[in-house]
Amino acid sequence: MSLSTPQSLEAELLRLGLSYHKNNELEKAEACYKKILLENPLQADAWQLQGLIFLSKNQLAQAAEYINQAIRLKPTSAVYHNNLGCLEKTNGQLVSAVAYFKKATALNPDYLPAAINLGQTYQEIGKYKLADSIYKNILKKHPHQTEIQLGLAACKLAEGKHHEAMNIYQTILKYIPDDLNILASIANVYNQMGNLDKTKQLLETIIEQQENHPLANNNLGNIYLTLGDYKKAQQHFLVATTYNPRFLTAQLNLAAAYRALPDYPAAIKSLQFILDQDLGFFEPGSLPQNYLLTKALVSLALCYAAVCDWPALEKIKKDLHKPLNAAYNLPLPYYLDPFEAMNLDLPKELWLSCCLKNGAILETMAAKYLSPLKQGKAKKKKLKVGYLSADFGDHPIGLLLNNLLELHDKDNFEIHGLSLYQHQDPIATHLKNSCDFFHEIQTLSLQKKIAYIKNLDLHLIIDLSGHTRHNDPVLLASRLAPVQAHWLGFPASLGLKSIDFYLTTQEQAPESLASLFQERLVYLPQSLIGHAGFELPSKISLCRKELGLQEDALIFCCFSQAYRISKDSFDCWLKILVATPGSQLWLLSSNPLCDKNLMDYARAQGIEIQRLIFASNEKMTQRWRHCLADIWLDTFNQTSGTVAMLCIWAGLPLITLRGMTPQSRTAAAHLQAANLGELIADTIEEYIEKAIRLANDSQARQNLRKKILMSRQQMPLFKPQVFIKELEASFQLMWQQKHSKEKFLYTKIEGGTI
């Protein structure tokens, strides 16, 4: 008969616990570890292994407590420090994770898991040179570690070293010649180099070999998404997610395609699938966890905004603060779009925080493109001005610029158009011909765009798109000209230190709101824009009846996109309907689910649903059908821009609420510039009262319409010859300020008359 020693029993329990642990029989493993610790609380391995069980259950606080206790008992263990780093990484604390991985590699330089984790974490936080160095050291000892070679290639790609990344992928192919994932990565290099044809060709070759290859289908879907072919994008994302539903990046992209189609119920389903997943499991190739989940949550909120499901939207917005902050704690080349944040009407402090953090990330991404500019002080008489935009065409911004750029003083200004998206329409042709030089740069890679623009040796860049579609703020973050400003396209701060000025008015962004801007404010004296006027048909051939409107009813109108319609604004509109019996509310039909939600909400408030009329989606200048309405009711959180000008030109009274952010004051700025301040309300109650009073006084409406139509060409809003002089004065002032020691938060341009 042999007697077992306590040490041998402990060793047997530990061996048994590890066996259970490896087989994922966690309850049995946990029982073994707890029994060991009950007998021997100094057994460090048991503390550490129990901590790993807590980590697998996402019980992070308990996991940290147990692994830290193991380290206290055995402070020289590289394994323990590595696992604590993994815990910190799971918790989104990447900087802290780096410290533990570094400690682990210092304790045991040959411990490969810690070295790999350190390199990958450096890569995730954008410290590519450090990651590069670690990966190279690993490859000296383990030359065929594919995972490490892929990480090294990704670092080269992030640093813009496309050819070095390509060489690494080609090296991997030599010993894994049939790896389609590597071919997909090579296609990604071609894509980043701006070779779209080669990218598509290679991805299609991969799909010919494996029709359901998830990564190739996802990447090809992204190309079609960028090109605006949303149906093809959806088809490829569906293939990727059907083959592998846990490829969550593809699920996120699929939701983006559904949103663009639009098919919001399907988008909501995809996003909810992502949010329902186990946080501890992510497929290779997926975006980082914090970013992906936050992006899914924001996208879901935008879906609810687009279908006017306000209860669901408010529920998500209450929970957005923590994931937004978590995502922005990762200085990754992935960021949340400030335009999307604006559409969610976040509290202005949170929105500004997102905007500034986003700007810092963009500046990190642009750092590799920074280079000294040739331009010092202007030696020649002419100031070289570049307008940067994706909207030189039949677009609200293009509509505003039409017949304006040609008025520039060509003796003192050399005008360059820098186009980021190709438009083919009469407005695009006219704008192109209005510039001294027009540069179609949309097909160039980011690196080539930057080099091209810098080579133009411009004095000023005026951005017209901001964070809107098809623009790339990394261009601006890379400092393309000595002076950079933005105007018109994005009515808020871009959050970039490289943007020196924002052109605005005191109505849109008064001095009290200057703290919401990273930029210095340049106040145009009278108006945000001076337009020559729109081509209004001599006779509107439409009649109310054919559009579903009652001939003799008073028609309130708003053709803004549904995501701009807040619960507060819709509640106001319904109160106005109640106070004006027989009136109708004419809205844009954004999508079937939205129409249903609005009708259900109105019905619940006692409004007969036939009083809500939904118009098909078309450009307002196509048939000028808004001329058939009596009063335009503006949205609250983002007010009308170009739309307000189209209403004023048509003689349609527009009632707006002056808000507490620049984006909620744009319509007010246009109304002031049209001498129509009486249509601006400062409170919701005043907004309702103005609408009801005007609705009940047909003579007042008639007089107001007549006043607008007769005096519109005397309004500052429609005096382009005056405005262009004021705009040019702002260019001169910004150029002078760039070379002046005296700085300002805001300044005013003196108004002119002709």
Question: Per the structure, how many domains does the chain have?
Answer: 2
**Domain shared by 387 and 472, yes or no:** yes
Positive or negative: CA dihedral 720, 726, 731, 734: negative
The per-residue pLDDT for 743 is 62
Confidence of residue 280 (pLDDT cuts 50, 70, 90): very low
Place of tokens 């002709």: 754
Percent of the chain with pLDDT over 70: 92
**Domain shared by 555 and 683, yes or no:** yes
Residue 349, pLDDT > 90, answer: no
Mean per-residue pLDDT for 92-100?
87
Query: What is the pTM for the complete model shown?
Result: 0.84
The strands making up 555-558's β-sheet, listed across from edge to edge, are 612-615, 584-588, 555-558, 631-633, 654-657, 680-681
**Domain shared by 501 and 395, yes or no:** yes
* Spatial CB neighbours of 620, under 8 Å, sequence gap ≥ 6: 559, 626, 643, 646
Which one of 463, 488, 523 terminates a domain?
A: 523
How does strand 483-486 pair with strand 460-463? parallel
Mean per-residue pLDDT for 466-488?
92
**Torsion angle of C-alpha atoms 276, 282, 283, 288, degrees rounded to 10:** 110
CA 581, chain centre distance (Å): 42
**Domain shared by 496 and 571, yes or no:** no
Confidence of residue 361 (pLDDT cuts 50, 70, 90): confident
Confidence of residue 347 (pLDDT cuts 50, 70, 90): confident
Amino acid occupying residue 424: Q
Who wins on pLDDT, 133 or 741? Answer: 133
Confidence of residue 323 (pLDDT cuts 50, 70, 90): low
**Domain shared by 589 and 500, yes or no:** no
Angle of the 112-124 helix axis to the 146-158 helix axis, nearest 10? 20
**Domain shared by 629 and 686, yes or no:** yes
**Domain shared by 576 and 630, yes or no:** yes
Angle of the 684-695 helix axis to the 567-579 helix axis, nearest 10? 30
pLDDT in tens, 230-269: 999 999 999 999 999 999 999 999 999 999 999 999 999 9
What SS3 string covers 589-609?
CCCHHHHHHHHHHHHHCCCCH
Mean per-residue pLDDT for 84-99?
87
**Domain shared by 495 and 616, yes or no:** no
Residue 741 CB coordination number (10 Å): 5
| Cβ proximity of 624 and 591 under 8 Å | no
DSSP 121-152: HHHHTT-HHHHHHHHHHHHHH-TT-HHHHHHH
| Cβ proximity of 502 and 517 under 8 Å | yes
| Cβ proximity of 206 and 184 under 8 Å | yes
**Domain shared by 391 and 502, yes or no:** yes
Residue 12 CB coordination number (10 Å): 12
Place of tokens 């953090």: 357
**Domain shared by 556 and 619, yes or no:** yes
| Cβ proximity of 90 and 60 under 8 Å | yes
In a domain, 449, yes or no: yes
In a domain, 654, yes or no: yes
Instruction: Of 523, 528, 592, 586, give the one whose Cα is nearest residue 558.
Output: 586
pLDDT in tens, 568-622: 999 999 999 999 999 999 999 989 999 999 999 999 999 999 999 999 999 888 8
**Domain shared by 595 and 697, yes or no:** yes
- Is the peptide bond preceding residue 262 cis, with omega within 30 degrees of 0? yes
Confidence of residue 290 (pLDDT cuts 50, 70, 90): low
The per-residue pLDDT for 373 is 77
Mean per-residue pLDDT for 99-113?
94
| Cβ proximity of 15 and 36 under 8 Å | no
Instruction: Of 461, 478, 480, give the one whose Cα is nearest residue 417.
Output: 461
| Cβ proximity of 200 and 227 under 8 Å | no
Instruction: Of 534, 536, 538, 537, give the one whose Cα is nearest residue 402.
Output: 534
Who wins on pLDDT, 556 or 467? Answer: 556
In a domain, 160, yes or no: no
In a domain, 690, yes or no: yes
Strand runs labelled E in 56-131? none
pLDDT in tens, 197-241: 899 999 999 999 999 999 999 999 999 998 889 999 999 999 999
Mean per-residue pLDDT for 418-443?
95
In a domain, 669, yes or no: yes
CATH number, domain containing residue 635: 3.40.50.2000
Beta bridge partners of 632: 557, 654
Q: What are phi and psi of 743, to 5 degrees?
A: -115, 160
What SS3 string covers 232-244?
HHHHHHHHHHHHC
| DSSP one-letter code for 539 | S
**Torsion angle of C-alpha atoms 693, 695, 699, 704, degrees rounded to 10:** 90
The per-residue pLDDT for 744 is 62
**Domain shared by 694 and 560, yes or no:** yes
In a domain, 392, yes or no: yes
> Distance (Å, rounded) from C-alpha 175 to C-alpha 181?
14
In a domain, 647, yes or no: yes
CATH number, domain containing residue 513: 3.40.50.11380
Who wins on pLDDT, 368 or 636? Answer: 636
In a domain, 20, yes or no: no
Instruction: Residue 686: give the domain boundaries.
Output: 548-716
